[in-house]
Amino acid sequence: MLAKYAFGILVSLLIFLFNPSSVIASELDRTSAQEWFNAGIEQIEQENYQQALLDFDKAIALNPDFTAAYSNRCLVQIHLNHYSQAKQDCTQALQHQSDNHSAYLNRGLATYRLGDYQSAIADYNTAIQLEPNSVSAYYNRGLVYAAQENYLEAIADYNRAFSVMSAPDNFQLATIYNDRGLAYFSLGNFELAIADFDRAIQFDTNNALAYYNRACACQRKGHYREAIHHFTLALQRDPHRAEAYISRGLIRHQLGYHQTALEDLHLGAECFCQQGQLVAYQQILKLIEQIQQTFSGFESIVV
């Protein structure tokens, strides 16, 4: 029997950098911890996380009390999915500087990724005590509450993040609106969810995730043609989003457009295969086989 395939709504996570401006020395000239630290910051900006890790290692070897190096190495470890090491780095930073706001933020991210939600909330609480107008602390604490399925608290924190913004950028606004929409979606309030996804799209018209989430909300409301439209918009921006192909295909199948449904399911299965998600790939192939056996000979209308 075909296992039921769950189409979840994704949650995005902002990571906020501690990033002092400094002049970068050439590698041959780096003799101080500060120079290696500066080089690590440059590598973070270029998303060269493995090299950034090596640079921060050298900075810390030269200066074992370099608080900012520990805090930023924690951030690099998070990008590399080394969450236990990230937590250790931030704890080390806090031993040297107990009021380091960035270290609490980064350790909160690490413990969040480790599934230790209570510790993450405790770190964000401390970060907020240190900086009451910290957008990132409120936003990230909201993500933790959402992970705990405490959606009302998550919404309250997203609202607090909005209230303390002084000069918000469009990406930041789009991200928080999208996640508040996810919280409303999880509470079954699809109207408010769609309104937030619309705001996210307003601030970031290339936000494939917001289009995808909006489509999911439309689907739950039974607005199937609108859902198809927004799944299509999501795929125009992210052609590798397998879930969007599958969801659009299932709706088309439900509406009786079996040929286009099969085309979507094949595209979704191909994406899963390319992404190495072989269990999902096999499940979709079985679903395709069932549809082909049931509706062979039917002519379909393209929508």
pLDDT tens per residue across span 174-231 = 999 999 999 999 999 999 999 999 999 999 999 999 999 999 999 999 999 999 999 9
Between these two residues, 168 and 118, which has the higher pLDDT value? 118
Residue 71 is predicted with a pLDDT of 86
What integer pLDDT is reported at residue 297 of this predicted model? 53
302 confidence band (pLDDT: 50, 70, 90): very low
Q: What average pLDDT does range 80-91 have in this prediction?
A: 94
pLDDT of 30 strictly over 70: no
Whether the predicted pLDDT of 39 surpasses 60: yes
Tens digits of residue pLDDT in 86-121:
999 999 989 989 999 999 999 999 999 999 999 999
Kindly provide the b/e burial profile for residues 278-289, where b requires at least 16 CB atoms within 10 angstroms of the residue's own CB: eebbebbeebbe
Q: Does domain 34-131 have CATH number 1.25.40.10?
A: yes
Which pTM was predicted? 0.83
Task: State the average pLDDT over residues 226-246.
Answer: 98
Q: How far apart are CA 289 and CA 293, in angstroms?
A: 6
State yes or no: pLDDT of 76 exceeds 90: yes
pLDDT at 15 over 90: no
Task: Give residue-wise pLDDT tens across range 268-281.
Answer: 999 999 999 999 99
Higher pLDDT, 28 or 199: 199
Tally Cβ neighbours within 10 Å of residue 48: 15
Q: What was the pLDDT predicted at 296?
A: 64
What is the per-residue DSSP string for the chain?
-PPPPP-PPP------------PPPPGGG--SHHHHHHHHHHHHHTT-HHHHHHHHHHHHHH-TT-HHHHHHHHHHHHHTT-HHHHHHHHHHHHHH-TT-HHHHHHHHHHHHHTT-HHHHHHHHHHHHHH-TT-HHHHHHHHHHHHHTT-HHHHHHHHHHHHHH-SS--HHHHHHHHHHHHHHHHHTT-HHHHHHHHHHHHHH-TT-HHHHHHHHHHHHHHT-HHHHHHHHHHHHHH-TT-HHHHHHHHHHHHHHT-HHHHHHHHHHHHHHHHHTT-HHHHHHHHHHHHHHHHHHTT------
Average pLDDT over residues 15-23: 38
256 pLDDT more than 80 = yes
